[in-house]
Chains A and B, each alone.
Chain A
C-alpha cells in the first residue's frame, strides 16, 4: 500500500536532512534537498520559502546557488516534531 506523507512529515524530512545529512557547514542546495526529501521542485520551493520566512531555515545566496541551513528555531521545532510524532504514533496517528 502506498504511504502518503503529510505536509508536516515533508517539513520534518527537509529539516532532518539539513540537520543530519550535510557533510559541511555550507548548507544544502535545492537539488540536494529535492533528492533527499523526494519532492518536486515547485513544491519544495514553496515550502523552503515558507520555512525561511518562519525562521526555521537560514538562506545563504552568497556562493551563486541558494543554500539552506537549519536555524536554532528549526532545531527546536524538529525536536518538538519528533517528540510529538512519537506521541501521535502511540494513538496510531501521524501529525
Chain B
C-alpha cells in the first residue's frame, strides 16, 4: 500500500515537473527570459527528484526486495527537489538564504527548531517547507496585485506541497501512522493544483524560432 501510494505521488510529480519544466524551457527558447530559465531549472529539478525516488522504489520492488527504499536514494531525490523549490523561491526574489523578510520570519524559523539532526533528509524536507511556504506567500501577494485566477491554483499547489512536507516530516516522529498517507494525499493534490493553470496555456502555435 505504501509503495503504491509513493509510486503514484512520484509519477505525478515527475509528469507535472516534466510538463511545466518543458513549457518553461520552450518559453525561454522563444523569449530569452531569465525568469522562464529559472522556472525550467526549478521544474526539471523537481521532475528529476521525483524520478529518482520513483526509480528507487522500482529497483527496491523488483530487484532488491528488502521491504524499504534505500535511505540514500530517497535523500538524493528529496535533495534534488529542494533545489527545484529553491529556484521557485529564488524567482520571487530571494536575495539570500535567510532574508529579513517578515514573511520568512513568520514561517521560516519554526521548522528549524523541530528538525531532527539524525537524517539529512529531514533537513531537506524542512528547507523545502520554508521555500514552498515562501513561494506560496509571494504568489498569493502577486495574485492580490494581478488578480490572475491561475495564481490562486499555484498558491494552493505550493501551499499544499508545503503542508504535505510538514505533515510528512511529522510522520518521522510518528511512523506507521495515518500522517504518512495524509502527507502523500496532500502532496498529490498540490501537484494537480499546480498543473491546472499551466494546462490552460495554449502552446500549439508556439514554435522554436531563431532569435
Kindly list chain A residues whose C-beta atoms are within 8 Å of the C-beta of B114: none
- The 8 Å CB contact of A91, one of B33, B139, B205, B209, is B139
How many of chain B's residues have a CB under 8 angstroms from any CB in A? 36
Q: Which residues of B from 26 to 69 have beta carbons under 8 Å from A?
A: 27, 30-33, 35-36, 39
Contact present for A83 and B202 (CB under 8 Å): yes
Contact present for B151 and A90 (CB under 8 Å): yes
Which one, B9-17, B123-131, B140-148, is touching chain A? B140-148
Q: Is the interface of A mostly helix, strand, loop or mixed?
A: helix
Contact present for B35 and A92 (CB under 8 Å): no
Contact present for B33 and A8 (CB under 8 Å): yes
Q: Is the interface of B mostly helix, strand, loop or mixed?
A: helix
Minimal beta-carbon separation of B117 from chain A (angstroms): 34
Q: How large is the interface on A (under 10, 10 to 19, 20 to 34, 35 or more residues)?
A: 20 to 34
A-B contact count (CB 8 A): 86
A95 within 8 A of B: yes
Kindly list chain B residues whose C-beta atoms are within 8 Å of the C-beta of A38: none
Kindly list chain A residues whose C-beta atoms are within 8 Å of the C-beta of B140: 92
Contact present for B138 and A87 (CB under 8 Å): no
A83 to B35, CA, bound (A): 14
Contact present for B39 and A91 (CB under 8 Å): yes
Contact present for B92 and A93 (CB under 8 Å): yes
Which one, A20-28, A62-70, A74-82, is touching chain B? A74-82
Contact present for B36 and A88 (CB under 8 Å): yes
Interface string of B200-211 (1 = CB under 8 A from A): 011101110101
Kindly list chain B residues whose C-beta atoms are within 8 Å of the C-beta of A49: none
B197 within 8 A of A: yes
Minimal beta-carbon separation of B204 from chain A (angstroms): 10
Kindly list chain A residues whose C-beta atoms are within 8 Å of the C-beta of B27: 80, 83-84, 87-88, 95
A73 within 8 A of B: yes
Contact present for B146 and A84 (CB under 8 Å): no
Contact present for A81 and B206 (CB under 8 Å): no
Contact present for A90 and B197 (CB under 8 Å): yes
A94 within 8 A of B: yes
Contact present for A84 and B36 (CB under 8 Å): yes
Kindly list chain B residues whose C-beta atoms are within 8 Å of the C-beta of A73: 209, 211
Chain B residues within 8 Å of A, Cβ to Cβ: 23-24, 27, 30-33, 35-36, 39, 88, 91-92, 138-143, 146, 148, 150-151, 153-155, 197-198, 201-203, 205-207, 209, 211
Chain A residues within 8 Å of B, Cβ to Cβ: 8, 54, 73, 76-77, 79-81, 83-84, 86-95
